[in-house]
Amino acid sequence: AELQALRDDQATLSRREREVMALVTSGLMNKQVGFQLGISEITVKAHRGRMMQKMKAGSLAELVNMSAKLGSASAVKA
């Protein structure tokens, strides 16, 4: 049930928000994410804020945990 709720929340993310989520949760700083995606650090922060709101994450640590659960679930499917 919890995993399905996470998947539902993830489905509301835009393509760019998913890209930002993947890079941020891999440990990159906002500036590094911006450089990799060719966008400003301010834009990264905006995407990150919307993404955390949509995912209902109260902290980066919580978002990393959610991402790990989603990743391990897709690894099990493969």
Please state which of the ranges 20-24, 31-35, 68-72 shows the lowest mean pLDDT. 68-72
At the second CATH level, the architecture of 2-73 is Orthogonal Bundle (1.10)
Residue 45: per-residue pLDDT: 97
**24-48: average pLDDT:** 96
Token pair of 59 as six digits: 């902290």
pTM of the model: 0.82
Q: What is the number of other CB atoms lying within 10 angstroms of the CB of residue 61?
A: 10
Q: Which of 46, 21, 44 is nearest to 32 (CA)?
A: 44
Where are the chain's structural domains?
2-73
